[in-house]
Amino acid sequence: MSDVDAQKRASGEAAAELAESGMVVGLGTGSTAAWFVKALAARKLDVTCVCTSVATADLAAGLGLRIAELGETREIDLTVDGADEIGPGLSLIKGGGAALLREKLVWEASKRCVVIADAAKQVPLLGKFPLPIEVVAFGHKTTQLRLCDALAECDIGVAPRLRMKDGAPVLTDGGNVIYDAACGRIEDPAALAAALKSVTGVVDHGLFLDLADLALVGTVDGVIRLE
C-alpha cells in the first residue's frame, strides 16, 4: 500500500471510532470515505447509514450495513467524508468524485461532519484543485458562459472545463454535468460560493464552507485532529 493510501486508511479508521450504536451515520464518497465505510462495517455496530452516492451505497450494502434514504431517518448524527482540499477554518473543496450535491445535502442534514484525508489535502489557500461545479445538463454550454462571468466577478479569469470520461461528459448520480474551474487561488471562498450559486443552471459547487466540525488527517506521524 502507498503512503498516501496508508494515510487515507488511518484517517478513515480513526473516524470509524467516533460512531456508536444507535446512530444515523452519513457515508461520504471516494477512496478515503471507502476506508471509513469498511472500518465502520467491521465494528458491527447497530447503525443506519445514509449514502452520498450510488457507489458508496453499493459498497455499504455489500458490507452488510443498513441503508436508508436521506429524509427517511431522523437527523443524521455523524457524517464522515473525504475532501480534495482542506483550507483555513476547515473550508473545503469537494466533488472530485462528482458526488458534491448529494454530499452537501447529507452534510447539511448532519449534526456533526468529520472530514478525513491524507496529509497532501491540507493547503494554506483553496484553489489549486480545480473547483467542481454541478450544472444542469440542459443548456450547460450557455451556463458555462454565465459561470465565466461569475468567476470574473471574483477576479478569477478562467473558463471552467466540462469534465469528460471516455469521450463523453461525466454525469452525476442526479444526471447533471460537472464543470471544473482551475481557479488557482480562491482568496474569498464565500464571495465565490455566492456568485456561483446565483447562476441559473448551477445546481451546486464544491466549496464546503462552515460545514466541517473536525478533520482527521493521516500524516507520516499518525492521524492529527484539526478543529
User: Which residues fall in the annotated binding site for substrate?
Assistant: 29-32, 81-84, 94-97, 121
Assess whether 17 carries a catalytic annotation: no
Q: Which residues contribute to the annotated binding site?
A: 29-32, 81-84, 94-97, 121
Number of residues counted as binding ligand 5RP (CB under 6 A): 18
Closer Cβ to ligand 5RP, 96 or 189, answer by number: 96
Residue 87 contacts ligand 5RP per CB under 6 A: no
Buried b / exposed e along 45-63 (16+ C-beta atoms within 10 A)? eebbbbbbbebbbebbeee
From residue 215, give the alpha-carbon distance in Å to each of 29, 44, 79, 80, 131.
Answer: 16, 24, 12, 9, 20
Residue 84 contacts ligand 5RP per CB under 6 A: yes
Tell me which stretch binds ligand 5RP (CB under 6 A): 16-24, 92-100, 147-155, 178-186: 92-100
Closer Cβ to ligand 5RP, 77 or 103, answer by number: 103
Residues 6+ apart with CB under 8 A from 184: 127, 128, 156, 158
Residues 101-140 that bind ligand 5RP (CB under 6 A): 103
Looking at residue 96, its amino acid is: G
Of the residues 13, 72, 85, 103, which is catalytic? Answer: 103
C-alpha cell read off for 115:
472530514
CB atoms within 10 A of CB 205: 27
Residues 36-65 that bind ligand 5RP (CB under 6 A): none
Residues in contact with ligand 5RP by CB under 6 A are 28-33, 81-84, 94-100, 103
- Give catalytic residues, as residue numbers: 103
